[in-house]
Structures are given as C-alpha cells and as structure tokens.
Amino acid sequence: AQSVTQLGSHVSVSEGALVLLRCNYSSSVPPYLFWYVQYPNQGLQLLLKYTSAATLVKGINGFEAEFKKSETSFHLTKPSAHMSDAAEYFCAVSVAGGGNKLTFGTGTQLKVEL
C-alpha cells in the first residue's frame, strides 16, 4: 500500500524567506502526488499535482514542487513567504488501480512571522 510521510508537523519562517515543506512517499507503482492547503476551519484546496508529466510542477500562489523518484520525494517550495501563506499543508498520494483514493500525510502547519 502507498503512504506519505511529512517531516515536521510545524514549520516557522520569516516573511520573505524560502518555504520548504518536505514530503516523502512510498509506493510500489508510479504515484500521483498532490499538495493541498487548508486554512482554519475550511476544506482543502489543491495547490498542485504531479501526474507523470514534468517533474517540476508549478501551482497556485507561487508554490512549486519537484518529483524526485530517486529520493521518493515531492517537497513543496516557495521562494518568498507571505503572511497569507500561513496554513496547514497536506501531501497526498494515489496510484493507478487504487480507485482514485488519496492517502494523506499528517500535515505541516506553516507559520509565517514578521
């Protein structure tokens, strides 16, 4: 079965600094990988997804992620953090034959400080 591990349940950055949220996956078949963002008391919004096309995926709000098969990673980055980026971020994986069901990591809470 596939799984996702998010390193760091809480990450704090200064406004304007690089954002790096880590995600490693485990899958015996080629995965589909997703990053979602959740603002307080709201549902999840898709930031970006990898579906076996380009390994560098650009998403909304200036975020991007790079699929690295050799490292089984799909880390999320943003060059310059903004206060509005403060939220919880979830990495998720699905695989072909799995019925389009997502398996989520436990999430990373991003705090942006002045």
Partner 1 sequence: SQTIHQWPATLVQPVGSPLSLECTVEGTSNPNLYWYRQAAGRGLQLLFYSVGIGQISSEVPQNLSASRPQDRQFILSSKKLLLSDSGFYLCAWSAGTTGNTIYFGEGSWLTVV
Total residues contacting partner 1 by CB under 8 A comes to 27
- Tell me the closest approach of the beta carbon of residue 83 to partner 1, in angstroms: 23
Q: Which residues have C-beta within 8 Å of that of residue 106, sequence separation ≥ 6?
A: 6, 9
- Binding string to partner 1 for residues 39 to 78, with x set by CB under 8 A, is what? --xxxxxx--x-x---------------------------
Q: Which of 15/38 has CB closer to partner 1?
A: 38
- Binding string to partner 1 for residues 8 to 27, with x set by CB under 8 A, is what? -x------------------
Q: How far is CA 13 from the centre of its chain?
A: 16
Three-state SS string over the chain comes to CCEEEEECCEEEEECCCCEEEEEEEECCCCEEEEEEEECCCCCEEEEEEECCCCCEEECHHHCEEEEEHHHCEEEEEECCCCHHHCEEEEEEEEECCCCCCCEECCCEEEEEEC
Q: Which of 13/89 has CB closer to partner 1?
A: 89
- Tell me the closest approach of the beta carbon of residue 4 to partner 1, in angstroms: 9
Site of interaction with partner 1 (CB under 8 A): 9, 32, 34, 36, 41-46, 49, 51, 90, 94-107
